[in-house]
């Protein structure tokens, strides 16, 4: 048989047998599927339906020689379920409903509701975190109900002994094509003359139902039905009369009797049906289609109010559509609101249905049309990702890596679990080779730092913990007398990641290390796992530095800020002023000079320091960078997915960590003579095997031969790539192990479908914008004084960004002071935004249309965002993640969503750790709360795992750089996202300050793009000895970049050959995705 499902987001699910249904539902085999239908998450709910309706109906028709009616269609049952639970009703969610007047649709809807809730609310549920819409879940539950209903047919139901009921086998099986009405159970009892079994109670549980309970539970095993004696012809005639009287439309007495060898039990819903062939005749299978409600139709059915009510999803979507359609036309919009508020009196009854039907149809259409995600889109994404998948920074020796890490090797069946790891944990297949690479880096005598720069979401924390496990085992294998002095390991990170690191270590290797938290104190912070808290300030004489062997197992975890405050320039300045009686002027002059005799100095206390999100150390003039450099550790492991987010100059900040201790000696006259290398010669011009290539790791080489202005950005990136090969491990989703033919990392991650939305001002708005921007741009550069250079005014830049988001936002910011420091106070006031409006606006939460119209005037990006929110959040009930640059924009978005009665939450710098954890939990675990999470790049772009229920990321404002944007997107593009694709939407206004920032970010990213580029894709593997930039010859042809030698050109019409810089510009621009013009 074939049964197919059509109508969920244009998808078609077709199954020719139960095995296909099993695969679609995600069961590993049929046994697991059978176990599920017998489990507490399905059977109790189904049996309430079976005992209330199926069995009595079977008995009612048994003596008549007909089969049961085919019952209601899925779309009707789903509608009954939605109506029973709308507007606060609890017809199906109440623990003990009154079923006295229920018909078949009610009983079936009751079972479907319970099964849906039990399998979406709990982490053990079949549909939990699967990324399915309510309509898709309802449909799958319906199929399971039909599957089990088929199994409950008398000919297939087994008695308690485990063998088929012989009486059932001896009776001829008959199938009829009947259309029974949906009578109540009491009517069916009268027709069958059989009492209905009582429904036993179910123990109270908190799964699924809104009230915290589930429907009553019948016995787990259906009772064996004792076959009645064969009916006499008179009994059969009377039964037919009773059946025809009670169910006149069934015409049971006129149905044709089907012979057993041709038997097919059919469950039909009017014009749809699901078939299960008993004989599995492949040649005679019917193709059946089952239509389901669209999300827009569900939204309309749930609408209990026939006039405007902002609490209803239907009216939220309608209001957003009207705001977009009417724009700034106040009068037309007011008329629409008046009509919606009085629709029951202003439109005749027969026209109301037509009006609601038209609105429902319109709501089913996305007002912004995107290219679909298909095989072509997936191939394009893979191709773009492969451009920056350079094998120069990768490893493929998986078997050797496993042996080094003491992981037994069984080929494809290898379980990548190291000794000391928790039994429930194991590495991904790409992680052991990274651990081996770090080991090799750290064993090189002249290399002080290595960089783990894997793409976001590839488990860098797991790799570091695995390396520490290996390091501990390596130390244990050294004879005790030969071991170096035992020292703890220091791991530094942003404050927001402390909890994540402590939990990860406790999860991966719970008994391998002693973890100490060096942040806060026990009075103000609760334990995260099994860590201890270091009280006070560390110093040389602290017990953690006593050299005892157990200290080699100690891991100290701290934040950059905490460490800088206690051991950085600010702390030593205070010491010099207060303890050494030094003047402030004198102390400021030597602020960045370390002092090994200072009690706060931890110089040489650590052999290994791990710096997570190391791009925070790129500024050499920052207290944070200097406090870490003063440790003078033997090895630094630097972790970041975006090493040089602000441009090539960022790399100079890392060089003091990586530069060998004897680097100055390498540039001495004697050393250069030994290497036969001149002082003014370019160290990046020599092959990697040349002895002078080690000079590339020095600060002098970077300053003189990379950062000089005479070198093109593409050449800068090429030279940096030569250095990276010596100290960087970096993989992307397109990486394979082994190279070329092995498994691809992307198979474990969702892909990305990007779109950049070009929003436009109308003519009046553009005039306002140009006038305001002109005033601000003249103040953007602040002239320098004396020898000081001119600098960029961040305050003016902030105003320009606010202006691009909403023309009135800079003025509102000045009045309301929408800074992060005031966000807590602002959000505590539920209706804080009402004071933004003048008295003539007459603010109202019940009818927020006029307020929203005023907020959207001069805000094209927000109008575009709401069009997506209407489809994704309001209609389809998906969760979305929104990133902003400035807290003021976060405040504005919260105001808009509160006016629309959409549940949104924020992550901000004003929140305590416990408050952030609560927000993250609501967004990642609660299906009916926190539909939108709004945060800034500064707060939310790193260290958060938000992929559990979110696959749509909106960038309302331009990030500072492409690296930060990639980090932000990585909050959803992670292992464990239930969706195969994550959608990214970037909003900008053409011709605005916003658009210039986007192009500026592309220019800043050129050097890193060159360093990461897989040059073999572009030059065919010929890299000119790896000493010059060669990306092949590329040209533009009809807007596309193509190889010069693949197009026939006229001799007089030769095109411009693109420079490497232009090639990279094009590639980076293409990664923005399709452009949508609004």
Consecutive 10-residue runs of the chain (1078 residues): their mean pLDDT? 35 58 77 88 92 87 70 87 84 89 92 92 74 85 89 69 41 34 32 36 32 36 39 45 39 33 32 33 39 85 82 94 91 87 73 88 94 90 88 94 93 88 86 97 92 92 97 94 95 91 91 92 72 92 94 96 94 93 92 91 96 90 92 96 85 92 92 93 91 93 88 87 93 92 89 95 93 89 78 89 94 85 80 70 69 92 97 96 95 94 92 87 89 94 88 95 91 88 96 91 88 78 56 82 80 81 90 92
3-state secondary structure of 847: coil
328: containing domain: 307-359
Same domain, 923 and 945: yes
Same domain, 83 and 174: yes
Q: Is residue 733 part of a domain?
A: no
Give pairs for 153-157: CB < 8 Å, separation 24+: 153/58, 153/265, 154/58, 154/62, 154/225, 157/222
CB-CB contact of 711 with 718 (8 Å):
no
The secondary structure element, H or E, covering residue 598 is none
Same domain, 292 and 318: no
pLDDT for 446: 87
Same domain, 600 and 621: yes
State how beta strands 272-275 and 266-269 pair. antiparallel
Same domain, 478 and 627: yes
Q: Count CB neighbours of 630 within 10 A.
A: 22
Same domain, 289 and 316: no
- The angle formed by the CA atoms of residues 392, 393 and 398, to the nearest 5 degrees, is 105
Same domain, 635 and 527: yes
Burial class (CB in 10 A: 0-12, 13-18, 19+), 1060: buried
Give pairs for 377-385: CB < 8 Å, separation 24+: 377/753, 378/751, 378/981, 381/751, 381/752, 381/753, 382/734, 382/746, 382/751, 384/1067, 384/1070, 384/1071, 385/732, 385/733, 385/734, 385/746
What is each CA distance from 772 to 763, 804, 940, 993, 1000, in whole angstroms? 15, 10, 31, 11, 22
Same domain, 912 and 886: yes
Terminal CA-to-CA distance of the chain, rounded, Å? 47
The span from the CA of 331 to the CA of 326, in Å, is 9
Q: Is residue 635 part of a domain?
A: yes
- The angle formed by the CA atoms of residues 608, 611 and 615, to the nearest 5 degrees, is 145
The CATH number of the domain holding residue 891 is 3.40.50.300
Q: What share of the chain is helix, strand, coil (3-state, %, to 5)?
A: 45, 10, 45
Q: What is the DSSP string of 87-150?
A: GG--TTTSSS---TT-BHHHHHHHHHHHHHHHHHSSTTSTTTTS---HHHHHHHHHHHHHHHHH
Q: Domains in the chain: how many in total?
A: 5
- Domain end call among 318, 340, 359: 359
3-state secondary structure of 57: helix
CB-CB contact of 381 with 753 (8 Å):
yes
- Domain end call among 252, 270, 296: 296
3-state secondary structure of 984: strand
CB-CB contact of 933 with 923 (8 Å):
yes
- Domain end call among 989, 1023, 1041: 989
The span from the CA of 371 to the CA of 216, in Å, is 47
State how beta strands 489-493 and 1040-1043 pair. unpaired
Backbone angles phi and psi of 444, in degrees to 5: -75, 125
Helices in 926-955 by DSSP H: which ranges? Answer: 937-940
Q: Is residue 732 part of a domain?
A: no
3-state secondary structure of 947: coil
- The angle formed by the CA atoms of residues 133, 137 and 138, to the nearest 5 degrees, is 115
Q: Is residue 368 part of a domain?
A: no
Same domain, 288 and 349: no
Same domain, 159 and 214: yes
The span from the CA of 720 to the CA of 1010, in Å, is 9
Strands (E) located in 702-847: 728-729, 736-737, 743-744, 751-759, 781-782, 791-792
Q: Is residue 653 part of a domain?
A: yes
State how beta strands 743-744 and 736-737 pair. antiparallel
CB-CB contact of 330 with 853 (8 Å):
yes
Mutual orientation of helices 498-508 and 460-476 as an angle, nearest 10°?
50
Give the dihedral sign, CA 313/319/322/323: negative
Q: Is residue 889 part of a domain?
A: yes
CB-CB contact of 695 with 723 (8 Å):
no
Q: HEC states along 536-557?
A: CCCCCCCHHHCCCHHHHHEEEE
Q: Is residue 82 part of a domain?
A: yes
**Sequence-ordered list of residues with C-beta below 8 angstroms from that of 175, at least 6 positions apart, any chain:** 67, 258, 263, 264, 265, 266
Burial class (CB in 10 A: 0-12, 13-18, 19+), 541: exposed
The span from the CA of 356 to the CA of 359, in Å, is 5
The span from the CA of 702 to the CA of 709, in Å, is 12
3-state secondary structure of 1057: coil
pLDDT for 951: 95
The secondary structure element, H or E, covering residue 741 is none
pLDDT for 337: 87
Model pTM?
Answer: 0.74
Same domain, 963 and 1044: no
Q: Is residue 374 part of a domain?
A: no
Same domain, 332 and 463: no
pLDDT for 16: 53
């Amino acid at each position: 048989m074939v049964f197919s499902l059509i109508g969920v987001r244009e998808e078609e699910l077709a199954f020719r047998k139960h095995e296909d249904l099993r695969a679609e539902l995600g069961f590993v085999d049929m046994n697991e599927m059978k176990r599920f239908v017998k489990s507490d998450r399905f059977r109790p709910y189904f049996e309430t339906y079976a005992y209330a309706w199926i069995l009595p109906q079977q008995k009612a028709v048994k003596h008549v020689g007909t089969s049961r009616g085919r019952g209601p269609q899925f779309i009707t049952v789903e509608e009954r379920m939605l109506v029973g639970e709308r507007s606060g009703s609890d017809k199906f969610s109440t623990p003990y409903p009154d079923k006295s007047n229920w018909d078949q649709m009610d009983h079936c809807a009751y079972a479907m509701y319970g099964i849906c809730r039990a399998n979406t609310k709990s982490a053990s549920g079949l549909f939990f975190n699967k990324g399915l819409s309510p309509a898709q879940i309802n449909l799958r539950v319906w199929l399971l109900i039909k599957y089990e209903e088929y199994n409950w047919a008398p000919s297939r139901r087994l008695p308690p002994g485990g063998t088929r009921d012989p009486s059932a086998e001896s009776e001829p099986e008959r199938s009829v094509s009947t259309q029974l009405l949906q009578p109540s159970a009491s009517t069916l009892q009268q027709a069958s003359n059989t009492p209905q079994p009582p429904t036993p109670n179910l123990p109270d549980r908190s799964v699924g139902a809104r009230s915290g309970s589930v429907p009553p539970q019948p016995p787990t095993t259906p009772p064996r039905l004792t076959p009645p004696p064969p009916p006499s012809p008179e009994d059969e005639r009377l039964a037919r009369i009773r059946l025809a009287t009670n169910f006149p439309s069934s015409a049971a007495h006129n149905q044709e009797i089907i012979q057993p060898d041709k038997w097919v039990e059919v469950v039909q819903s009017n014009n749809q049906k699901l078939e299960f062939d008993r004989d599995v005749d492949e040649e005679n299978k019917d193709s059946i289609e089952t239509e389901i409600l669209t999300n827009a139709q569900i939204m309309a059915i749930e609408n209990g109010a026939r006039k405007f009510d902002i609490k209803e999803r239907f009216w939220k979507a309608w209001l957003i559509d009207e705001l977009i359609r009417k724009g700034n036309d106040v009068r037309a919009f007011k008329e629409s609101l008046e009509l919606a508020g009085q629709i029951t009196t202003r439109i005749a009854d027969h026209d109301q249905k037509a009006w609601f039907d038209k609105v429902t149809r319109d709501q089913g259409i996305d007002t912004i049309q995107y290219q679909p995600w298909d095989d072509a889109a997936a191939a394009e994404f893979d191709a773009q990702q492969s451009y920056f998948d350079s094998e120069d920074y990768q490893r493929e020796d998986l078997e050797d890596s496993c042996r080094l890490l003491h992981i037994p090797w069984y080929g494809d069946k290898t379980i990548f679990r190291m000794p000391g790891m928790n039994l429930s944990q194991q590495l991904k297949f790409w992680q052991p080779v990274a651990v081996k690479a770090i080991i090799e880096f750290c064993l090189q005598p002249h290399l002080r730092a290595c960089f783990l720069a894997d793409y976001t979401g590839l488990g860098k924390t797991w790799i570091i913990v695995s390396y520490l496990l290996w390091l501990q085992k390596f130390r244990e294998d050294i004879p005790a007398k030969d071991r170096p002095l035992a020292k703890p390991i220091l791991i530094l990170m942003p404050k927001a990641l402390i909890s994540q690191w402590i939990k990860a270590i406790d999860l991966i290797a719970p008994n391998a290390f002693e973890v100490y938290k060096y942040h806060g104190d026990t009075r103000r912070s609760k334990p995260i796992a099994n860590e201890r808290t270091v009280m006070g300030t560390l110093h040389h004489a602290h017990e953690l530095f006593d050299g005892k062997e157990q200290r080699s197992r100690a891991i100290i975890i701290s934040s950059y800020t905490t460490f800088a405050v206690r051991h950085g320039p600010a702390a030593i300045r205070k010491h010099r002023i207060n303890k050494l009686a030094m003047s402030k002027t004198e102390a400021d002059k030597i602020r960045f000079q370390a002092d090994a005799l200072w009690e706060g100095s931890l110089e040489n206390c650590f052999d290994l320091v791990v710096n997570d999100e190391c791009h925070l150390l790129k500024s050499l003039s920052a207290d944070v960078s200097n406090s870490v450099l003063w440790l003078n550790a033997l090895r630094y492991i630097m972790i970041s997915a975006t090493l040089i987010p602000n441009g090539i100059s960022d790399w100079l900040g890392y060089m003091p960590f990586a530069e060998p201790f004897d680097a100055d000696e390498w540039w001495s006259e004697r050393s250069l003579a030994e290497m036969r290398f001149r002082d003014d010669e370019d160290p990046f011009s020599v092959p990697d095997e040349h002895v002078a290539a080690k000079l590339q790791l020095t600060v002098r080489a970077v300053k003189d031969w990379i950062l000089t202005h005479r070198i093109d950005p593409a050449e800068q990136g090429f030279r940096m790539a030569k250095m990276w090969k010596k100290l960087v491990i970096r993989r992307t989703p397109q990486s394979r192990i082994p190279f070329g033919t092995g498994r691809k990392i992307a198979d474990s991650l969702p892909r990305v479908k990007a779109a950049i939305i070009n929003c436009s001002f109308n003519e009046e708005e553009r005039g306002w914008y140009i006038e305001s921007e002109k005033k601000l741009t003249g103040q953007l550069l602040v002239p320098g004084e004396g020898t000081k250079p001119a600098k960029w005014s961040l305050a003016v830049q902030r105003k320009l960004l606010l202006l691009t988001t909403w023309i009135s936002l800079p003025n509102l910011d000045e009045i309301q002071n929408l800074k992060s420091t005031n966000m807590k106070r602002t959000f505590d006031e539920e209706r804080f935004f009402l004071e933004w409006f003048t008295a003539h606006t007459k603010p109202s939460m019940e009818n927020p249309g006029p307020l929203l119209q005023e907020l959207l005037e001069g805000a094209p990006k927000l109008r575009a965002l709401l069009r997506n929110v209407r489809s994704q959040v309001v209609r389809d009930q998906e969760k979305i993640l929104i990133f902003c640059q400035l807290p003021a924009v976060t405040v504005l978005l919260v105001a808009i969503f509160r006016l629309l009665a959409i549940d949104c939450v924020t992550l901000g710098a004003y929140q305590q750790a416990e408050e952030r954890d609560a927000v993250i939990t609501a967004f990642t675990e609660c299906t009916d709360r926190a539909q939108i999470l709004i945060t800034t790049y500064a707060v939310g772009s790193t260290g958060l795992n938000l992929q559990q229920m979110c696959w749509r990321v909106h960038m309302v404002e331009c990030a500072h750089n492409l690296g930060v944007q990639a980090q932000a997107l990585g909050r959803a593009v992670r292992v464990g996202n239930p969706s195969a694709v994550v959608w990214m939407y970037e909003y900008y206004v053409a011709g605005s300050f916003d658009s210039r920032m986007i192009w500026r970010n592309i220019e800043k990213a050129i050097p890193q793009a060159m360093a990461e580029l897989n040059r073999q894709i572009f030059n065919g593997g010929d890299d000119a000895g790896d000493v010059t930039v060669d990306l092949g010859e590329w040209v533009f042809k009809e807007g596309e970049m193509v190889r010069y030698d693949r197009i026939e050109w006229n001799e007089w019409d030769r095109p411009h050959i693109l420079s490497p810089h232009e090639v990279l510009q094009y590639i980076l621009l293409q990664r923005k995705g399709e452009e949508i013009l609004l």
